[in-house]
Amino acid sequence: MHEASLAQSIINIAVDEAKKAGCEKIKTVTIRVGTNAGVLKDALVFAFDALKEDTPAANALLQCIEVQPEGVCGECGEVFRFKGYIFVSPCCNSPEFRITRGRELEIVEIEAE
Amino acid sequence: MKIRVVNRILEANERIAEQNREVFQRHGNFVVNLMSAPGAGKTTLLLRTIEMLKERVPVGVIEGDITGTTDAERIGALGVPVVQINTDGACHLDANMINSVLSELPLSEIRLLFIENVGNLVCPAEFHVGEDMKAMILSVAEGDDKPLKYPLMFQESEVLVINKIDLLPHLDSDLDSIRSNALRVNPSLRVFAVSCKTGEGLTDWVEYLLKRVEDRKSN
């Protein structure tokens, strides 16, 4: 996807939240990234480190929590885990399924002082 | 100190998309976000579609391209309001780009608004712009494996228009496998097979669009 613009959004959100809490320096930013979100973690960290200079996040560490994908079968209701892209549920081989996890892209915690 | 936040990183785009949606609803616009790889026939499908339905419903167009105004000029020649967005390198339209041109269109005179996205089979599917319907085009020359290799756009779309079916006799790809691969990725996809060159299949697509506009009006 667009790791540099995502990294910029992460920095903007983190700086805003830190300011709101009356903090000046951000130590860590923790994000949840689904493995099916289309984001390359290494590219995101690289862009974050390049863009954080001269901001309150200049010394911040970006921590990524990976979220493995999960789905629910529309036929039998079974919750299943999977890897990569799937087009049918593994239990019933049914195209009627819903992906419930794995496409997250969100900030969960900022540590600042 | 630790600050707990749950903030979707794409939220800024979602928020502006929601604002766009409110503007469209207020003006009674039904908005179609048209996406495809470069060269699949977005502009030609738009031209044919507008020719067929512009006497039945007032149309407007937002044209997205990396650079240039050739598409907007082609559409403008049909006498419908059109505004061109140049993304200056960006590979998709986002909600903010759409928001920034809304004042340039006579929205209260438009019922059906097409947004022609930047030619790209990946990124446009990631960004909502406030549309009612995502429609995508795949031309038969692109190959019948594309739904399996680029699933997101097929999953996000309500409609798949398979274009250039007049070329099928010259190609190895076949309509049935394009269709079945697309439905494997998204079983609820509405599929239309058309040729913008010969006009085959276009009536079904146009009638479907008109029906969606009507349904919207009566809601």
CB half-sphere exposure, B22, CA atoms < 13 A: 5
In a domain, B178, yes or no: yes
What does each of the 219 residues of chain B score in pLDDT, given as a tens digit?
A: 888 887 778 887 888 999 999 999 999 999 999 999 999 999 999 999 999 999 999 999 999 999 999 999 999 999 999 999 998 888 999 999 999 999 999 999 999 999 999 999 999 998 999 999 999 999 999 999 999 999 999 999 999 999 999 999 999 989 999 999 999 999 999 999 999 999 999 999 999 999 999 998 765
Best mutation site among B1, B2, B4, B5 for testing chain A: the one with the most A CBs within 10 Å? B5
C-alpha distance from B23 to closest chain A C-alpha (Å):
25
In a domain, B6, yes or no: no
Determine which helix (DSSP H) or strand (DSSP E) holds A14, and give its type and residue range: helix A3-20
| Interatomic CA distance for residues B63 and B43, integer angstroms | 9
Contact A10 B9 (CB under 8 A): yes
ipTM of this predicted complex?
A: 0.73
Contact A18 B3 (CB under 8 A): yes
- For helices A41-51 and A3-20, give the axis angle rounded to 10 degrees: 60
| Interatomic CA distance for residues A105 and B78, integer angstroms | 42
Contact A108 B4 (CB under 8 A): yes
Which residues of chain B have a Cβ shorter than 8 Å from any chain A Cβ?
A: 1-10, 12, 123, 126, 148, 151-152, 183-185, 187
The length of chain B is 219
Tell me what pLDDT residue A87 has. 85
Residues 6+ positions from B171 with CB-CB distance below 8 Å: B140, B141
B29 Rama class: left (phi>0) / alpha (psi -120 to 50) / beta: beta
In a domain, B206, yes or no: yes
- CATH code for the domain in which residue B71 is found: 3.40.50.300
In a domain, B157, yes or no: yes
Best mutation site among A48, A87, A111 for testing chain B: the one with the most B CBs within 10 Å? A87
**Residue range of the domain that includes B63:** 11-218
In a domain, B102, yes or no: yes
C-alpha distance from A58 to closest chain B C-alpha (Å):
17
Tell me what pLDDT residue B4 has. 85
Residues facing B34 on adjacent strands: B116, B135
Q: Find the CB nearest A9 among B4, B9, B183.
A: B9
In a domain, B5, yes or no: no
Name the token pair of B132.
């009612």
| Interatomic CA distance for residues A83 and B144, integer angstroms | 23
In a domain, B87, yes or no: yes
In a domain, B3, yes or no: no
Domains in chain A with CATH codes: 3-68+101-112 (3.30.2320.50)
Domain count, chain B: 1
User: Do residues A69 and A61 lie in contact, with contact meaning Cβ atoms separated by under 8 Å?
Assistant: no
| Interatomic CA distance for residues B33 and B45, integer angstroms | 13
Tell me what pLDDT residue B84 has. 96
User: Do residues B47 and B78 lie in contact, with contact meaning Cβ atoms separated by under 8 Å?
Assistant: yes
Contact B1 A21 (CB under 8 A): yes
| Interatomic CA distance for residues B63 and A91, integer angstroms | 44
